[in-house]
Amino acid sequence: MSRQKRVLTISLAVLLLVGVFLTGASLNRSIDGSFWNSWWSRETPVTSVTSKIVQEESMVIDIVETTSPAVVTIGISKLERFSTFNPFDPFSFFETQEQQVEQDIGTGFIVDAKGLIITNKHVVSDLGAQYRVISADNQTYEVQNIYRDPSNDLAILKIEAQNLPTVELGDSDSLRVGQFALAIGTALGEFRHTVTTGVISGLGRGIVAGSSFAGYVEELDNVIQTDAAINSGNSGGPLLNSAGQVIGVNVAVAQGAQNIGFAIPINIAKSMLDNFYQTGEFTRPFLGVRYSVITKEAAILNEIPEGAYVTEVISGSSAAEAGIQPGDIISEIDNQKIKDRQEGVAGIINQKKVGEVVTVKIWRDGETKEIPVRLKSQQ
């Protein structure tokens, strides 16, 4: 091979080696750079998710630590009589014995540093029993007075104490389905300060609430539904939002279902408190009718107005004195249409005051009438 050809071959080989080297370096940079950067970017969300979980846990812990000192357990003390029979003494027949029973039965929360506590009326429905309050630091207080709301399953307990921790009350009118919810209470009347979390899973529900301890039931409208676990003994405890504000008073759990609990909107309790502070008692207005709601479909089918069909008028009530009769259809109260109020007649009347005169529009025998009604308190 000539010298010139050898030089050309060597030059081509050198150029080939340089190209391979440059290509490898470029590939290496690609692997070191974009590849690993891409891999690292895929790892970033894991860190973000972990951080989010920690933040959520921290939020729940903060709510519990802030609110729990104001959550109390309601206990009952009652003398019970029962009969026994001695099978080895046929002449003993049944002997009556007495036993003092003490049991945790519900929950409440402190709304006034001077000792006012909100709970459910059905928790303290036994007029012959003595009730006590056990605070978060295990201090026991005897209940001095009980004020029961005649219109809702709510009650205020008064204990002798000062400088108690209190909860912050929120706004239940601004609730939305899907938002965070947390419940605190004495689950099953045994496990104090049990914490459960969930969401608001429904609004404007109608339920029958009661107590397995007292055998008391009551129909409630416009309550909050939540999947935060609520058990017997949670009744009267707070339902809280993510800001640690009370948005509802836990009242019942759906029998035969899982994770379906209910709470009375806190705005109803706030109205009750305002009334109590002004009068020192519960003097809610009471129209005095029992009714069934007439839907739009039923109204069209029967050619009658939508509203509340009066099935019974309570003797001596405001409605009775004004001349409202069974069979009347109440379509409006003070220009508020019944169909526009989710709570019906009760929802409108609860916004009024005792002694106030309201105009009730009724439909009777094909004619529409307006009847003035002066509202009395429930006896």
Is the separation of the CB atoms in 264 and 251 below 8 Å?
yes
Is the separation of the CB atoms in 146 and 155 below 8 Å?
yes
pLDDT at residue 6 is higher than 80 = no
122 is catalytic: yes
Would you state the pLDDT for residue 73? Answer: 95
Would you state the pLDDT for residue 59? Answer: 87
For 14-34, the pLDDT digits (tens) are 555 555 555 554 444 444 444
CA nearest to 146, candidates 119, 107, 169: 119
Would you state the pLDDT for residue 158? Answer: 93
Domain limit, last residue, from 223, 257, 279: 279
- Pick the catalytic residue from 125, 135, 149, 153: 153
pLDDT at residue 130 is higher than 70 = yes
Q: Quickly state the pLDDT bin for 141 (edges 50, 70, 90).
A: very high
CATH number at 103 reads 2.40.10.10
Question: Quick one: average pLDDT of 314-322?
Answer: 90
- Pick the catalytic residue from 104, 122, 149, 232: 122
Would you state the pLDDT for residue 31? Answer: 43
**Is residue 291 domain-shared with residue 271, that is, in the same domain?**
no
**Is residue 315 domain-shared with residue 360, that is, in the same domain?**
yes
Would you state the pLDDT for residue 128? Answer: 79
The residue among 328 and 345 whose pLDDT is bigger is: 328
46 in any annotated domain: no
Question: Quick one: average pLDDT of 326-335?
Answer: 92
**Residues above pLDDT 70, as percent of the chain:** 72
235 is catalytic: yes
Structural domain span for residue 114: 69-159
The residue among 166 and 95 whose pLDDT is bigger is: 166
Residue matched to tokens 């029998």:
255
291 in any annotated domain: yes
**Which two three-digit tokens encode residue 117?**
């506590």
Would you state the pLDDT for residue 159? Answer: 94
15 in any annotated domain: no
Residue matched to tokens 């929360």:
109
Q: Give Cα 214 to chain centroid, integer Å.
A: 21
CATH number at 352 reads 2.30.42.10
Would you state the pLDDT for residue 148? Answer: 85
pLDDT at residue 49 is higher than 60 = no
Q: How far is CA 66 from CA 43, 45, 166, 238, 245, in A?
A: 35, 31, 10, 13, 10
Is the separation of the CB atoms in 352 and 343 below 8 Å?
no
Would you state the pLDDT for residue 40? Answer: 45
Q: Quickly state the pLDDT bin for 233 (edges 50, 70, 90).
A: confident
Which residues are CB-neighbours of 98 under 8 A, at least 6 positions away?
Answer: 79, 80, 81
Q: Mapping DSSP to helix (H, G, I), strand (E, B) and coil, where does residue 46 land?
A: helix
Q: Mean pLDDT in the chain? A: 80
119 in any annotated domain: yes
Element (H, E) at 235: none
Q: Which residues pair with 129 in a beta bridge?
A: none
d(CA 274, CA 278): 6
Which segment of 55-64, 79-88, 308-317 scores lowest on mean pLDDT? 79-88
Count of Cβ atoms closer than 10 Å to residue 333 Cβ: 24
**Is residue 155 domain-shared with residue 206, that is, in the same domain?**
no
φ, ψ of residue 35 in degrees (nearest 5): -65, -55
**Is residue 273 domain-shared with residue 343, that is, in the same domain?**
no
3 in any annotated domain: no
Count of domains in the chain? 3
d(CA 268, CA 204): 13
Element (H, E) at 99: strand 94-112
Is the separation of the CB atoms in 128 and 101 below 8 Å?
no
Q: Quickly state the pLDDT bin for 215 (edges 50, 70, 90).
A: very low
d(CA 190, CA 186): 6
- Pick the catalytic residue from 125, 135, 232, 235: 235
For 255-305, the pLDDT digits (tens) are 655 668 889 999 989 988 887 887 776 667 788 888 888 888 888 888 889
